[in-house]
Amino acid sequence: MRAMLRAPQRVLQLTLAIVKPDAVAHPLVLDAVHETILSNRFLIVRSRDLVWNRQDSQQFYQEHAGRFFYQRLVEFMASGPMRAYILAHEEAIPFWRSLMGPTKVFRAQHTDPDTIRGAFGLTDTRNSVHGSDSAASARREIAVFFPDFCEQHWYQHEEPQLRGGLVCYDAAAAIHRVPGDGWTERG
Ligand code: ADP
């Protein structure tokens, strides 16, 4: 268990983060990404491990259909287990994308070696992580991965408590909760 913390003051933004199959395949990389999330003071609102089939993958990356890397991308994303997170932070969308680093790993390794993709990405396709690129994408992508999650309910009932009070990190479930029996600190 970690110690208590002061909660953030500004309204929390939500984003959808994915740890892609190349990173989940290596437990140490998955742990490192998880630690990056915690040490950068994101709140983990939901988390789930899953495997996509080709159809899921095609649907999610529909906007890239026809691009030269599309088939490779679709196959890769359906090639093994992934982890999806709903993350909350004052600036969740741009902040998570800045931690991810540039799309192209070979560029990231030179220009942003300390980012997740710079440190762990394998190729331009197998680039370890995904993050929503706008509020509209975040809403759509969260609904794809967490169909039972009600954003409106979360903003009405959980967000004010998480922002205004103390936050509990449930290490067993690896998510943050509104205070219960185990107090712990983000990061
Ligand atoms: P990002 O994931 O950084 O938002 P995009 O939405 O443009 O980037 O691309 C979606 C995914 O498609 C990338 O994360 C990567 O896995 C793959 N991809 C994008 N561009 C390329 C490329 N030039 N070569 C290979 N794979 C690519």
CATH architecture of 5-177: 2-Layer Sandwich (3.30)
Q: Whose CA is nearest to atom 24 of ligand 1?
A: 124
User: Which of 54, 51, 122 has its CA nearest to residue 81?
Assistant: 51
Q: What share of the chain is helix, strand, coil (3-state, %, to 5)?
A: 45, 15, 40
pLDDT at 179: 76
Q: Which atom of ligand 1 is nearest to the CA of 61?
A: 10
* Average pLDDT along the chain: 92
User: Which of 49, 22, 6, 12 has its CA nearest to residue 174?
Assistant: 49
- Res 37 pLDDT > 70: yes
| C-alpha 1 to ligand 1 mean position (Å) | 37
Mean pLDDT for 35-43 is 97
Domain boundaries, the chain: 5-177
Q: Whose CA is nearest to atom 5 of ligand 1?
A: 103
User: Which of 72, 65, 88 has its CA nearest to residue 142?
Assistant: 88
Of the pLDDT bands very low, low, confident and very high (cuts 50, 70, 90), residue 165 is: low
Strand order in the sheet with 13-19: 43-50, 82-89, 13-19, 129-131
Mean pLDDT for 28-36 is 98
- Res 19 pLDDT > 60: yes
pLDDT at 9: 74
Q: What percent of the chain has pLDDT over 90?
A: 85
78 SS3 class: coil
Q: Which atom of ligand 1 is nearest to the CA of 130?
A: 2
Set 26, 89, 110, 130: catalytic member:
130
- Res 1 pLDDT > 50: no
List of residues 6+ apart from 153 with CB closer than 8 A: none
Q: Which atom of ligand 1 is nearest to the CA of 63?
A: 6
Q: Whose CA is nearest to atom 11 of ligand 1?
A: 125
Q: Active-site residue 89, yes or no? A: no
What's the token pair of residue 11? 């309204």
| Contact residues of ligand 1, CB 6 A cut-off | 64, 69, 73, 103, 124-125, 127, 130, 133
pLDDT at 3: 39
Q: Whose CA is nearest to atom 8 of ligand 1?
A: 103
pLDDT at 178: 86
pLDDT at 142: 98
pLDDT at 181: 45
pLDDT at 91: 97
Q: Which of 7-11, 92-96, 111-115, 135-139 has the lowest mean pLDDT?
A: 7-11
